[in-house]
Amino acid sequence: MQRLIIKGGKRLCGEIKVQGAKNSALPLLAGCLLAEGRTALTRCPELSDVFAACRILNELGCKCSFRGNVVTTDTSGAEGFRISDGLMREMRSSIVFMGAVLGRTGRCELSYPGGCELGPRPIDMHITALRQLGVKITEEHGRISCTCPRGIRGAVIDLPFPSVGATENIMLAAVCGEGETVIRNAAREPEVRDLADFLNRCGGDIRGAGCSTIRINGVKKLRGCDFEVMPDRIAAATFMSAAASTGGEIGLLGVRCDDIRAVTAVFEEMGAAVYCSADSIYISCARPLRAVRMIRTMPYPGFPTDAQAVVMASLATARGSSIISENIFESRYRHVDELVRMGANIKTSGRTAVIEGVERLYGANVMAHELRGGAALVVAALGAEGISCVSGVQYIDRGYEQIERSFTSLGAEAVRNS
């Protein structure tokens, strides 16, 4: 099992280009299945989850290659509709292929998805919405079978919660369907807008992405295109957290500040100096950090749940008491016990965490249990006194391109070994 060995206490300085967004690349790869001919996704991050998505495309008969952050697909022979259990279990986002496969072939067979354990994340909304589009769905022994006897037909769908995955699945299924589909209470995340922009570039007709109501007018077919994956706002938040943890001063290049206003506002409340331009963010954390009154994770444009753990790691040494309320997932404090091993003073009760800032953290042997919690341990280790060993690196690799190299380029001492 690979581990990260990190010698903390090195102040991070310099500039770094932010990778393409994991949470956008995965639905975009599913969307490639709908486009006839060749499609090229540039700025696609080299992540284990992205590799898993490419394997799903290959299993479905799509030719898929990955070189130099460019994924190229050719759907000329993509007639498959079954996704194996093994591939479905590799990541949670695999469920987004359900809408894409249905949109291409009119049928789909797959199992329940895997991914990080963050508490119950039912796909009921996905299934209910697709049924409204005319899909017949049966479940037996963990396998889900879907057919569209009359094709995908437009409908008005009211989501009980603005689920990103359900919104994306509806868009993928309906973009080549018949008639108009309206999604009410749709997710507003930038990744949803990115998917809509991609599908429209391919010839789709989707309006309102980024708002609570999305309208999809079905088209007969999509064609391949070249498209750049949006920057990863959670990776940006991770680098900002590391700068705060180490008292550093860094510039993030190729990032959209508007996508993470809720995060930059928290760092400003902590006492960091944050400057934004059209495609970069500069953060300086030369002064001691202050606690923040309350962080509540919420759907976009609220504070993102994926940034909760990394920001908590930087708050561990902020002066005063901070409170975090996790309103999206039930089990998203699995990193807390590991931070406590490093000297943090954090108490949790249900969905609430109270962080009492300590003077410093200390190096320790810690274990990542999921993606963002693992990144939080790296952030804490970078600012801690002494050497830390972070195990469970396979989780971190699901969302970050060679995270140790990124931080080493900013002056950290971090190596990977087995």
CB-count exposure of residue 416 (10 Å: 0-12, 13-18, 19+): middle
Q: Take residue 86 and report the two structure tokens written for it.
A: 């093994």
Q: What is the pLDDT of residue 114?
A: 63
Using alpha carbons, select from 390, 387, 370 the residue that is nearest to residue 378.
390
Using alpha carbons, select from 355, 393, 398 the residue that is nearest to residue 377.
393
Rounded to whole angstroms, how far apart are CA atoms 374 and 406?
A: 15
**Mean pLDDT over residues 358-364, rounded?**
98
pLDDT tens readout for residues 247-268: 999 999 999 999 999 999 999 9
pLDDT tens readout for residues 171-226: 999 999 999 999 999 999 999 999 999 999 999 999 999 999 999 999 999 999 99
Which residues, 6+ apart, have CB-to-CB distance to 209 below 8 Å?
171, 186, 192, 193, 195, 196, 197
pLDDT tens readout for residues 64-107: 999 999 999 999 989 999 999 999 988 878 899 999 999 999 99
Q: What is the CATH number of domain 22-228?
A: 3.65.10.10
Q: What is the CATH number of domain 3-19+231-417?
A: 3.65.10.10
- 3-19+231-417 matches 22-228 in fold: yes
Among the options 32, 62, 116, 225, which is catalytic? 116
Assess contact for 359 and 345: CB atoms under 8 A.
no
Q: Is 107 annotated as a binding residue?
A: no
Q: Is 365 annotated as a binding residue?
A: no
| Terminal Cα distance for the chain, rounded | 6
**Is residue 120 predicted with pLDDT exceeding 70?**
no
Q: Percent of the chain scored above 90 by pLDDT?
A: 90
**Mean pLDDT over residues 108-112, rounded?**
91
Q: Is 10 annotated as a binding residue?
A: no
Q: Is 22 annotated as a binding residue?
A: yes
Q: What is the pLDDT of residue 118?
A: 42
Sign, CA dihedral 121-122-127-132, equals negative
Q: What is the pLDDT of residue 292?
A: 98
Q: What is the pLDDT of residue 116?
A: 46
Q: What is the pLDDT of residue 112?
A: 83
Q: How confident is the model at residue 310 (pLDDT cuts 50, 70, 90)?
A: very high
**Is residue 148 predicted with pLDDT exceeding 50?**
yes
Q: What is residue 10's DSSP assignment?
A: P
Q: How confident is the model at residue 232 (pLDDT cuts 50, 70, 90)?
A: very high
Q: Which of 21-30, 115-124, 254-263, 333-342 has the lowest mean pLDDT?
A: 115-124
Query: Domain coordinates of the chain in residue numbers?
Result: 3-19+231-417, 22-228
Q: What is the pLDDT of residue 327?
A: 94
202 has catalytic annotation: no
Q: Is 306 annotated as a binding residue?
A: yes
Mean pLDDT computed over every residue of the chain: 95
